[in-house]
Amino acid sequence: MNTNLIRVGIIGSGGIAGMHAAAYKTIPGVEIAAVADAIPGKAAEFVERHGLSGTLAYDDYRELLQLDLDGVSICTPNSAHRQPTVDSLQAGKHVLLEKPMSVTLDEGLDMVRASRRSGRMLTIGFQPRYDPNMKLIQDIVRSGKLGKVYYVETGGGRRRGMPGGTFIRKELAGAGAMADIGCYSLDLALNALDYPKPLTVSASTFNHFGRNPIYHPEADRFDVEDFGTALIRFEGDLTLHFKISWAMHLDSLGTTNFLGTDAGLKITPFGQGNWSGVWDGKVGSIQMFHDFMGGQTMTQVPLVEHAIDLFREKVRDFVDAIREGRGAPIPGEQILIQQAIIDGVLRSAEQRAEVSVSVPDFAGGPAEEQG
């Protein structure tokens, strides 16, 4: 690896790929060497539109992987995450994979195994982690100030914020709101709790808005959920209530709450309007409820004021991890636990019954043997 120059490729040239390209362009010592997209001519158009002088364009990502690259951003539709990720890792490239990690648990497992066998990093793109206030929440929960945390409520709700295109087709996205924005809500709670092991899930999902042409122009193609809710049980007598919405007749599904034996934490999302109310960006407020001198009180936790570009930070951290030879900033092994939960949510909703959740034994453990 050239320690002075980090060469990267981008696989997939949709909207999110443009954000990766913009971020890479701001980081000193990074060269976007190539872009690939399966749609003929789309990568070349992307290169021209984003002013990527000298960047090669391919219609087949496997040609991109033949180049001398340090890392690759995978920006394909959800259903096309697994193969280019596995192929990139096997080709010796570090991978920054956009969320959600995969469509199925087995696909996520394949990617983690490929990372371990290749010795290359697989990191998942959860930019809200780079908000200092998300780190503050993590520090509070892990500090023990709440006592034993026994119940968590997380999620969020857009009143009317349904995407279209690849997001609403199960064959491409795998799931709807649960995976698209629900993954952020789960990461907020589970990362603060150091990703406990899930045991069971009981869930329900609906798509009353997406399937109605009054509310969505692509109703005839809409076959994922626009609303979902789940009760998840974890080891250690912990229960999590998860809920998420792309569309509903309500302005909010409320706050994220951690209930502990010594104190409770209430976290309000940032922003207002139809597309707000979810955990894909900043924090609105943090309050701690506890007793003091025999009385009940509430402490307003001061927020960290900042102007950090969270998306750029996740890309920069990926580049820095390559340069420094350190592990994945947001390891695939960790997010695999979240994939197991989402897999359980979808199975439970389909079966209309509680289901068991199985997380591979090696998740978070030592690397597998080469072979």
Query: In terms of DSSP bridges, do strands 263-269 and 227-234 run parallel, antiparallel, or are they unpaired?
Result: unpaired
Per-residue pLDDT band for 278 (boundaries 50, 70, 90) equals confident
Tell me which range, 75-79, 82-86, 342-346, is most confidently predicted by mean pLDDT. 82-86
- How far, in Å, CA of 297 to CA of 275, rounded? 33
User: Which pLDDT score is estimated for 369?
Assistant: 35
pLDDT at 148 over 60: yes
The pLDDT of residue 35 is above 60 = yes
Residue-wise pLDDT tens digits, 160-179? 999 999 999 998 888 999 98
Please tell me the predicted confidence (pLDDT) of residue 27: 97
And the tokens for 103? 């469509």
Q: Residue 369 carries which DSSP code?
A: P
What angle do helix axes 42-49 and 15-25 make, rounded to 10 degrees? 40
Q: If you count DSSP H runs as helices and E runs as strands, how many of each does the chain have, helices first?
A: 11, 15
- pLDDT above 80: residue 292: yes
Encode pLDDT of 6-26 as tens digits: 999 999 999 999 999 999 999
Q: Point out which residues pair with 35 in neighbouring strands.
A: 10, 57
pLDDT-based confidence at residue 2 (cuts at 50, 70, 90): very low
The Cα 82–Cα 88 span in angstroms is: 10
Describe the strand order of the beta sheet including 295-301 as a list of residue ranges. 295-301, 283-292, 263-269, 256-260, 149-157, 238-245, 227-234, 198-206, 355-356
pTM for the complete prediction? 0.92
Cβ 145 vs Cβ 262: under 8 Å: yes
Please state the φ and ψ torsions of residue 96, each to the nearest 5 degrees: -105, 110
Residues 230/245, Cβ–Cβ less than 8 Å: no
- Indicate the fold that domain 129-301 takes in CATH: Dihydrodipicolinate Reductase; domain 2 (3.30.360)
Q: What is the pLDDT of residue 362?
A: 59
CA 291 to chain CA centroid, Å, is 35
Q: How much is the average pLDDT of 283-290? A: 97
The tokens for 188 are: 């907020």
User: Could you write out the three-class secondary structure of 104-160?
Assistant: CHHHHHHHHHHHHHHCCCEEEECHHHHCHHHHHHHHHHHHCCCCCEEEEEEEEECCE
State how far the Cα of 102 lies from the Cα of 173, in Å rounded to an integer. 9
Q: Residue 3 — pLDDT band, cuts 50, 70, 90?
A: low
- Give me the chain's average pLDDT, please: 94
Beta strands in the chain (DSSP E): 6-11, 30-36, 56-58, 71-74, 94-98, 122-125, 149-157, 198-206, 227-234, 238-245, 256-260, 263-269, 283-292, 295-301, 355-356
- Cα distances (Å, whole numbers) of residue 89 to 72, 250, 334: 9, 44, 18
Task: Tell me the three state secondary structure of residue 296.
Answer: strand
Would you say residue 187 has pLDDT above 80?
Answer: yes
Residue 367 in this model has a pLDDT that exceeds 70: no
CATH for 6-127+310-330, among 3.40.50.720, 3.40.190.10, 3.30.530.20, 3.65.10.10?
A: 3.40.50.720
Find the mean pLDDT for residues 98-116. Answer: 93
Interatomic CA distance for residues 325 and 321, integer angstroms: 6
The pLDDT value recorded for residue 272 is 87
What is the number of other CB atoms lying within 10 angstroms of the CB of residue 28?
A: 7
pLDDT-derived band at 281, boundaries 50, 70, 90? confident
pLDDT confidence of residue 277: 87
Quote the percentage of the chain above a pLDDT of 70: 96
300 CA to centre of own chain? 28
| Under 8 Å between Cβ of 341 and 232 | yes
Pairwise CA distance, residues 9 & 98, whole Å: 14
In this structure, are strands 198-206 and 227-234 parallel, antiparallel, or unpaired? Answer: antiparallel
Residue 365 has pLDDT above 50, yes or no: no
- Closest by CA to 111, choosing from 91, 84, 93, is 84
User: What average pLDDT score do residues 284-304 get?
Assistant: 97
Q: Are 224 and 349 in contact (CB under 8 A)?
A: no
The domain segmentation of the chain, as residue ranges, is 6-127+310-330, 129-301
